[in-house]
């Protein structure tokens, strides 16, 4: 096995291409998704972007190390390798991962420019963040590397050693379920819509403080209007109502 400091993937005698342990890759995607989701939620719901800025810097450093040094030395990969150390490795091809991580690195650089350097907030940030979250979620939840799929579509050399053997495996007809299960899913979704409507019309939980319910203000009306003035970032995101709810201005 080749273990040089600068390398992309392990070179093992039984495989024709460099490989990664898919279990560690998926674990690292889960770690990054958790941190990204927490930061993104704070920005979306509370209008606080400091955590997102910190995560973007960490994300760019992580993927720069993966692509230009060695994934073995990337912080999230180090943690994930330790977490799955007791599991039998599942090796997948490294070339398609380089392509997929290159997409993530490009998105991270774009966010670094917009959010950290220019300190610009708007719909484009939401789109890029949402794309990153989607890619990481599919990787960690389903083992589906969307960037690897793009690699196959855009490059003549098809990927080898895909997760779950998808490079060569064709699922039998009916593997994904049948029409009865589909109807059950639709019925379940309909029930949840009804439950959501019932809950939203019901009383607040005792002991909980609704963000829209405020103690009467002792400040002059002019001060209250100034306090409830929606900032530009919330307007740019189309979240005026959410901002007002979280600041007790409705």
pLDDT tens, position by position, 165-191: 666 766 677 677 778 888 999 999 999
Per-residue pLDDT at 1 exceeds 60: no
Predicted confidence at residue 169, as pLDDT, reads 62
What pTM, to 2 d.p., does this model score?
Answer: 0.75
DSSP H/E element including 39: helix 22-46
Per-residue pLDDT at 212 exceeds 50: no
Predicted confidence at residue 166, as pLDDT, reads 66
Between 241 and 147, the higher pLDDT residue: 147
**Strand-pair category, 91-93 with 19-21:** antiparallel
Between 8 and 28, the higher pLDDT residue: 28
Predicted confidence at residue 246, as pLDDT, reads 67
Residues 137, 139, 142: CA angle, nearest 5 degrees:
85
Structural contact between residues 82 and 96, judged by C-beta atoms closer than 8 angstroms:
no
Task: Report the b/e string of 30-59 with b at 16+ CB within 10 A.
Answer: bbbbebbeebbebbbeebebebbbebbebb
Q: Which two tokens stand for residue 81?
A: 């390798």
């Amino acid at each position: 096995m080749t273990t040089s400091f600068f390398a992309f993937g392990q070179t093992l005698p039984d495989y024709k291409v460099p490989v990664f342990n898919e279990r560690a890759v998926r674990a690292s995607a889960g770690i990054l998704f958790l941190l990204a989701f927490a930061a993104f939620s704070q920005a979306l719901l509370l209008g606080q972007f400091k955590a997102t800025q910190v995560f973007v810097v960490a994300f760019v450093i992580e993927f720069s190390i993966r692509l230009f040094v060695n994934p073995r030395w990337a912080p999230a990969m180090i943690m994930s390798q330790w977490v799955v150390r007791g599991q039998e490795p599942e090796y997948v091809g490294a070339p398609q991962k380089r392509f997929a991580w290159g997409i993530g690195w490009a998105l991270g650089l774009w966010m670094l420019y917009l959010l950290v350097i220019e300190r610009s907030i708007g719909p484009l940030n939401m789109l890029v963040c949402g794309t990153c979250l989607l890619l990481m979620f599919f990787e960690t939840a389903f083992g589906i590397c969307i960037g690897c799929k793009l690699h196959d579509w855009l490059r003549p050399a098809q990927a080898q050693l895909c997760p779950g053997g998808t490079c060569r495996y064709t699922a039998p007809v009916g593997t994904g379920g049948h029409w009865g299960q589909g109807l059950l899913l639709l019925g379940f979704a309909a029930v949840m819509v009804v439950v959501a409507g019932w809950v939203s019309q019901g009383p607040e939980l005792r002991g909980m403080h609704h963000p829209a319910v405020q103690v009467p203000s002792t400040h002059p009306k002019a001060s209250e209007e100034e306090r409830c003035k929606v900032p530009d970032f919330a307007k740019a995101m189309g979240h005026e109502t959410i901002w007002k709810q979280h600041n007790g201005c409705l």
